[in-house]
Amino acid sequence: MDAEVLYALLKPRVLALVLTALFPLTTTVVFLTGIYVCGRLVLRFARMLLQLTVWRGTNVSKYGAGKGTWAVITGASGGIGREFSLQLAKKGFNIVLISRTPSKLDAVAKEITNLPGVTVSTITHPIDFSTAGDAEWKALTDVLAPLDIGLLLNNAATDHAIPTHFADVGPEMSTAVVTVNVAAVVRLTSIVLPGMISRKRGLLLSTGSLAGGVAPLPLRATYSASKAFLVTWSQALGVELSKSKSGVDIAVINTGYVAPGMHNEISETFFTPKGARFVRSVLASIGLPGGAIGRKFVWTPYWSHALLEFFLRSFGFIDRAVDWGYTACTKEAQKAAKAR
């Protein structure tokens, strides 16, 4: 019999014998891999739940609360900026309130003054980061220079009120988003950080977004990118600060929607907590990643936001979330157009 014919007859049998021999090994490898992947997922989920419910984060006393130190808060006249101002005052920080509107800043300062059992000082400083020039920045620098600042919250942010395709936004609005959400954060931090380093104590916080830290939001492209910048910048700066033993901690707070919201159109839901509840979750979990497991210098403190991030990242639904975001924003834009 020809050798080639013999080989052709035997080849399927040889292959079958090889596969039969390898099947137990292959099955074992697949089984063990599945156990490892599932076990790792379960452990990450358990760790996240412990951080959200049982473990406590760093106490703000580490950063000088109750010792005459100051917390500087931008976007302090409303929303979570106002809530941070009130709750940090209750914890003993003097508060520097920064926002655009003097009357709103004065109202928050009065709220702090009227808090029962709270005796702290406040400074109000109105500034519009979207138009501020060197003179306005110098005035702010002069206010902050003599203060013992223990905490900086970069919370001020802007965006167009209605979801809009980037091509239709216009250069002025897009530039304003970058100026307020990125450039002002960098500039203010560069003013405050040297003093923190010299005192070997400080906490730098920036209000991020799931739209920048997890899944970008179409029709809010520049806003999403500005929040993604905060993640990358804080992670790089965080390594600098930790490796140099500066004593300064840094983190981006990943937020979903919080009522009432930037444009006051959001009501409380399962995934949308009120500002007071959200801020309490932040201050109770400083230093714990929450839903941002495995990502240094980023944390997702509110439980429903954390569960959402865990689900999207663990099961590969980021792209689908972007599609969902596009659909939701398109509907929101259409609804706004009909209401005009």
Catalytic: which of 67, 110, 200, 223?
223
Tell me the pTM.
Answer: 0.87
Q: How far apart are the first and last CA of the chain?
A: 88
Q: Quote the pLDDT of residue 9.
A: 44
Residues 6+ apart with CB under 8 A from 175: none
For the ranges 104-118, 256-270, 280-294, the lowest mean pLDDT is seen at 256-270
Q: Name residue, tokens 């091509």.
A: 167
**Going from the N-terminus, what domains does the chain have, and what CATH number goes with each?**
56-339 (3.40.50.720)
pLDDT at 220 over 50: yes
Q: Quote the pLDDT of residue 5.
A: 46
Q: Quote the pLDDT of residue 286.
A: 93
- Residue 105: which H helix or E strand, with range? helix 102-113
- Give the residue from 75, 79, 70 showing the smallest Cα distance to 100: 75
Tell me, yes or no, if 7 is annotated catalytic.
no
- Give the residue from 328, 80, 331, 316 showing the smallest Cα distance to 214: 316
Backbone angles phi, psi at 249, to 5 degrees: -100, 155
Residues 6+ apart with CB under 8 A from 138: none
Q: For residues 148 and 108, what is the distance between their CA atoms, to the nearest angstrom? A: 21
Q: Quote the pLDDT of residue 15.
A: 56
- Residue 206: which H helix or E strand, with range? strand 202-207
Buried b (16+ CB within 10 A) or exposed e, 118-144: eebebbbbbbebbebeeeebeebeebb
Catalytic: which of 67, 110, 138, 227?
227
User: Half-sphere exposure (CA, 13 Å, Cβ side) for 241?
Assistant: 23
Instruction: Report pLDDT digits (tens) over 121-172.
Output: 999 999 999 999 999 999 999 999 999 999 999 999 999 989 999 999 999 9
